[in-house]
Structure 1
């Protein structure tokens, strides 16, 4: 769980989320995706966060740092 825009939100790295990110970034494979994720714009971060969220977050006012922390935590939970 992450707190985004003052609301608790569940983030999950699913196959659907990974496929959506591969499609958005125009890459194939997890290695290429990992390389692309090393350099994100604010728009890219929004796409990644939306892919990982298990619910609609489009109406939330989310700060850059809290979004970045949530994405890092979601991928860190895979270890």
Structure 2
């Protein structure tokens, strides 16, 4: 279940809704995966529009792991994400934004 107050975002993969959350561990894995040295650089990469579909996939994998599903990139290569590539990018952007909002700034 999606919960904007805790930063949880839901994604539908192959017809199954799964929670995503960017825990500190998930963010650390994402930094390594995307080759960024800092959280600021990671966020700026997405804010600037300088991200690739591989970056979106990495963000989704990190979020799914943070949400409790031990998934690998390879598990998602042939998966169907609700909304297609654009849907995946929108959910990934919402996930990243919620991870860095203060509780009082979070809205549904």
TM-score range, shorter chain: 0.7 to 0.9
Tell me the number of residue pairs that the alignment of Structure 1 and Structure 2 aligns: 79
Q: Determine which of 52, 65, 78 is the counterpart of 2:63.
A: 52
Q: CA deviation at 1:29?
A: 1.5
Give unpaired runs (5+ residues) of structure 2: 1-9, 102-108
Given the two structures, how large is their TM-score scaled by the length of structure 2? 0.61
Going from structure 1 to structure 2, the CA distance change for 1:52 and 1:26 (only over 3 Å counts) comes to: same
Structure 1 unaligned residues grouped into runs of 5+: none
Q: Is the 8 Å Cα contact of residues 22 and 28 (structure 1) preserved in structure 2?
A: yes
Structure number with greater Rg is: 2
- Please report the TM-score for the alignment, with normalisation by the length of structure 1: 0.79
- 1:71 deviates by 1.1
Cα distance in 2, alignment partners of residues 68 and 30 from structure 1: 19
Q: CA RMSD in A?
A: 1.9
Runs of 4+ in 1 over 3 A off after TM superposition: none
CA contact 1:4–1:67 (8 Å) conserved in 2: no
CA distance in structure 2 between the partners assigned to 1:45 and 1:65 by the alignment: 10
